[in-house]
Structure 1
Amino acid sequence: MSTPITHESTSHSTGNEATPPTGTQRGRRLVGLLGGLLLAVCAYYLLPADAIDQVVAAAGPEKAKGMTEHGLRLTAAAAILMGAWWMTEAIPLAATALVPLVMFPLLQVDSFKNTAAPYASGTIFLFMGGFMLALAMQRWNLHRRIALLTVLAVGVRPRMLVLGFMVATGFLSMWVSNTATAVMMLPIGTSILMLTGQLAKGGGKQNNFATGLMLGIAYAASIGSLGTIIGTPPNTLLIAYLKENHDITIGFGQWMLVGVPLAVVFMLLAWWLLTYVLFKPELDEIPGGKELIRNELRALGRWSSGEVAVGIIFVGAALSWSLLPTLLPGSGVNDEIIAMVVALLLFILPAPGHHGVRLLDWETAKDLPWDVLLLFGGGLALSSEFSKQGLSLWIGEGAKSLSALPVVLVVAAVGVMVIFLTELTSNTATAAAFLPIMGGVAVGIGADPLLLVVPVALAATCAFMLPVATPPNAIAYGSGYVEMGAMIRAGVWLNLAGVALITLAVMLLGVPVLGIAL
C-alpha cells in the first residue's frame, strides 16, 4: 500500500554548499547585471521628449491623470532592467521580481502599497492552490499510478508506448509542474529502455526508439501544460495580466476549450513527427513490456486510502474549475476561491488508515515553488505600471503601422519571436516581459489585446530545440539517450509546428471561445 512521501526541508541546511557557476555563467551574469543597469539608464534618458505628450493625447485628459514624464521614463527603464536581468539570470529570477518594490516607491513613481498589491493577485492564489494539489498527488504517489495505468491502457508496441507515455505526461502536466512530471515519467521510460537496449539495432542506447521516447516525454510535459490555466506559469500570468490591466476575465473551463484541443492536436503531431518521420523505432514489439509496467504497478501496491481521497479531491477540483463559475454566475465562486477551498481541504482532511496524518502537511507544502509565485508578482507589478504610466499606450502608438499587415501574419510573427526567444530565456520571464509590450502594441494598432497576448503566453511554453530551454528538455538530454543534434532537429520542426498551431488556435478557437474581436 502506498504511504505518504515525507519531505526533509533543506531550506536552512548548513551542510550543503551551493554549486559554483561556470566561467561562462559568471561572465553572462556579470554582463547582464552591468549591461542591464546601463541599458536602463539609457532607456530613461533616451526616451523621446514628446513621449508623454503622445501618451496624454492618446489617453485623453481623464485617463492621463497621474501620468508623468518621470513615471513613463522610469517604467521604461525598469522594463529594460528587469528584462535584461531575467534573460541573462544576472541574479535569481525571483530576486529580479522584487525590483518594482524598490524602484517605483523609492524613485517616487508609485506608493509601496500600490506597487505591492499585484504580488497578492487572486491569480497567484489560484496557482498556489494548484501547486498544493499537485504536491498532494505526489505525496501519495497518485501521479505515478495515473501515468502507469495510462501507459498500460494504450499498449506497449513501440509507437503506441511512446504515445502512451506522451498522453500520461501531457495529462499530468495539465495539473502538475512540467519539471515534476518529467522527473517522474523519465525514469519509468528509462526502465523500458533498459529492457530493450540490447534488442535495438546497433546494440547501444543511442537509438531511434530511445530518442523518440525521451523526447516524447519531455515535449509532452510542455505541450500538455497548455491545456489549463495552472498548467504553466505563462498561462497564469496571462490571466492575471488581462484581469489587472484590461478588465478581461477568462475562466478555467473557458481556457480549457482553447488549450486542450491545442494540446491534443499538438501532441498527436509531435508523436507522428517523432515516431513516423524523425525517429522510426527499430522494434515492432517490446518483449515483456506490458509485464514491466504491471510490475511497476504491483510495486505501488493496492490503492491506498490517501490516493483515493486525493483522487476524489482532484476530480472535484477539475470539475469545479470547469463548471461552477459558469453554473453559478454572480455567486462569488471563482477559480481562486475553488483553489483555496481545495488547499484547505487537503490540510484539514485526515488520510483514512493513517492515524494523525493529513492528506497534505506543511512539511510537504514547503516545497511550493515560492520563487515562481514571486516572479508572478514582479511581472504583474511591472505590467501594472505599464498601464498606469502610459508606457503601453506609447508603445502602441509607435506600432500603429503594423495595422496595415494581415491579422494572421501579425499573430504568427508574435509566435515566431517568442518561441525562438524562449529557447534561451525562462518561459515565465519571457511572458512577464512581453505581455505588457504586446498588450500595448495591440492597443496601438486598434486590435483586441487578446489577439496578441494569448499567442505570447502559449508560445512562451513551446521551447523544444535546446536542453537549456526548459527543465524537461534538460532532463531528457541528461538521460544520455538524446544527442544534441537530435534534439535540435526535432525541436526546429516542433517550434515551426507550434507557430502554425498557435496561430490557428487563436484564430479558430480564440475568436469564438474567448471572444477575440478581429
Structure 2
Amino acid sequence: MLGVLVWIFAWWLTEAVPMPITSMSPLFLFPLFGITSADDVASSYMDDVISLVLGSFILALAVEHYNIHRRLALNITLVFCVEPLNAPLLLLGICATTAFVSMWMHNVAAVVMMMPVATGILQRLPSSSSSTEMVPPAVGKFCRAMVLGVIYSAAVGGMSTLTGTGKALSPYLHKSHLKRELEMLGPMSFAEKMVLSVFGGLVVLWMTRNITEDIPGWGCVFDGRAGDGTVSVMMATLLFIIPNNIKKGEKLMDWDKCKKLPWNIVLLLGAGFAIADGVRTSGLAEVLSKGLVFLETAPYWAIAPTVCLIAATITEFTSNNATTTLLVPLLIEIAKTMRIHPLLLMVPGAIGAQFAFLLPTGTPSNIVGFTTGHIEIKDMIKTGLALKIAGTVFLSVLMPTLGAYIFASKAGV
C-alpha cells in the first residue's frame, strides 16, 4: 500500500499524468495489488461527502449563472474597500466572514458558500483574462491569497494578511466604480431571489440537521440516515423544478448549465476516499498506530507537538475523520499508561487532523478552492507548510501549560 501511495502522490505532485487520470488510478492499482476489490474501491467514488460537493457545485453554478455571487461580492467589497484601498483589510474581511460562517456549519459548506463571493471579487481583476501571462504579479499574488484564505480560514478560523498589493489593485477596486456596477445590476430578479432562497434553505438545513446532543436536529426524524449530501442534492434538485419566471417552461437550472461541473475534481475527491479506505483495509493504518507506542516514554513537553505532527502528516493522505478514528483510541490507551488526562493527547491529535493544508485531496474544502484555477499544488504546499508548522508550535506551547492547568494533569508544568 505504501508503494502505491508513493506512486499516486508522485503523479499528483509532478503532474506527469493529468490529474483526473491519476485520480482514477486507484480503480486499477488497488485491485491489481490486492489492496481492495474493484467493487469496494469503486464505491469510494460516490460517498456522502461527494454527494454534498456535487449538489453544492450545482448550486454554485446557479449562483454564478444569475450573477448573485457578483452582487454579494460587490456589497462585501464595499464594506471593506476603504479609500485608499487596503488590500489586507479586504482579504481579512473575506477570511473573517468565512471563519464566522464555518463556526455554524460544515467547513465544506462554508467554503462552497464563500468561494463564489471571493471569485466574484477576483473577476474584477486582470486574472480573469484568458492570458495569464499578462497578469501583474501583485494581482496574481492577491488571487492566490484570497482562495487560500477562504480555504484555511474555514478550517481553522485563521486570518490572512497580504502586503504590497494595495496600489496595484486600486484601479480595479475603486469604491465609486463598485457602486456604479452595483447600481447597474439593478434590483434582484425573481430568479435571483429563488436561487438565493434555495441556497439559504440549504444553509439552514445544514445547520439544523444535528444541533447539539441535548437539542436534536431534524436529522433524528430519519434515525441519522440523512446526511449533508442528502440535503445538498435535494436542494439542488429544486433548481430543476422551480420556474425562472423569465421564459415559459424554463426552470432555474437545466442540464446544459451543468456541463461546467468540474468532474475532474469529483474524481480527485473520490481518489482521496479510496486511499483512506485502502490505508485502513491494507493494514497500513495499524502499522502507523503501533509506531506511536514510543510516546509512553517521551518527555512530557514533546508529546503535544509529536502527536500533532503525526496527525497533521497522516491527514494529508486520508480524511480528517479517518485520521481521528485511527489515532484517538490509541491515544486514550497511551494516556492511561502515562497517567495523564486523555485530552492532553486527544486535543493535539484531533486538531492536528484538521491541518490538511498541503494537498487538494486533504479535504473537500481544498478541492473547492482548487477548482477556481487560481492556485496550484505548489501554492498550497508553500503556504500550508507554514500554517502547519505555526499550528504545531501553537499547540506545543498551549498543551503543556494551559492544557495541563485545565485538565489538572499531575505532570503539568
The answer to whether the superposition gives a TM-score over 0.5 is: yes
Select the residue among 350, 367, 374 that pairs with 2:260: 367
Letter in 2 for 1:188: R
Change (3 A) 1:365 1:324: same
1:409 counterpart (305, 313, 338)? 305
Q: In the alignment, which of 15, 20, 23 is matched to residue 94 of structure 1?
A: 20
5+ residue gaps, structure 2: 99-108, 128-134, 212-216, 335-344, 361-368, 404-408
Name the amino acid aligned to 1:342: M
**Aligned residue number for residue 323 of structure 1:** 208
- Computed over aligned residues only, the root mean square deviation of the Cα atoms, in angstroms, reads 4.4
State the match for 1:185 in structure 2.
121
* Bigger mean CA deviation after superposition, 218-227 or 331-340: 218-227
Q: Hey, what does 1:232 align to over in structure 2?
A: none
Q: Does structure 1 conserve the Cα–Cα contact (< 8 Å) formed by 2:31 and 2:38?
A: yes
User: 1:445-456 maps to which residues of 2 (within 5 A)?
Assistant: 451-452=348-349, 455-456=352-353
Aligned-partner residue type, residue 138 of structure 1: E
Q: Deviations over 1:196-241 (max 9, x none)?
A: xxxxxxxxx98xxx94x7645532322223465xxxxxxxxxxxxx
Pick from 101, 118, 129 the counterpart of residue 44 of structure 2: 118
Do the aligned partners of residues 375 and 289 (structure 1) sit closer, same or farther apart at CA in structure 2, a change above 3 Å counting? closer
**1:358 maps onto 2:251 in alignment:** yes
Look up the equivalent residue of 1:116 and give its one-letter code: A
Q: Mind listing any 5+ residue stretches in structure 1 that lack a counterpart?
A: 1-74, 192-204, 229-258, 419-427, 464-469, 478-486, 513-517
Deviation at 1:188, TM superposition (A): 2.1
Q: Of residues 271, 293, 297 in structure 1, which corresponds to 2:178?
A: 293
Q: Are 1:307 and 2:189 counterparts?
A: no
Report matched runs for 1:54-453 at 5 Å: 75-158=1-84, 160=86, 162-164=88-90, 166-168=92-94, 174-176=110-112, 183-189=119-125, 211=138, 215-226=141-152, 259=155, 262-263=156-157, 266-267=158-159, 270-271=160-161, 274=162, 278-279=163-164, 289-326=174-211, 327-332=217-222, 333-402=226-295, 404=298, 406-410=302-306, 413=309, 430-432=316-318, 451-452=348-349
Q: Give, in angstroms, the shift of residue 462 of structure 1.
A: 9.0
Comparing 434-443 with 380-389, greater Cα deviation is found at 434-443
The residue that corresponds to 1:41 in the other structure is none
Give the superposition deviation at 1:408: 2.9
Residues 319 and 290 from structure 1, CA distance in 2 versus in 1: closer, same or farther, beyond 3 angstroms? same
Contact 2:190 2:245 in 1 (8 A): yes
| Post-superposition CA distance 1:141-174 (Å, at most 9, x none) | 1001100011112342235564235534775793
Asked if the contact 1:129/1:342 (under 8 Å) is kept, the reply is yes
> TM-score normalized by structure 2?
0.68
Secondary structure at the aligned position of 2:202 is classed as: helix
Q: Equivalents in 2 of 1:287, 1:185: separation in Å?
A: 10
Residue 140 (structure 1) shift: 0.6
Aligned equivalents of 1:433, 1:85: Cα separation in 2: 20
Contact 1:226 1:461 in 2 (8 A): no
User: Please, which of 355, 359, 365 is the counterpart of residue 458 of structure 1?
Assistant: 355
SS at 2:239 equivalent = helix
CA drift of 1:373 comes to 1.4
Contact residue 130 and residue 175 of structure 1 kept, 8 A: no
The one-letter code matched in structure 1 to 2:352 is: P
User: In structure 2, how many angstroms separate the alpha carbons of the residues matched to 1:378 and 1:282?
Assistant: 42
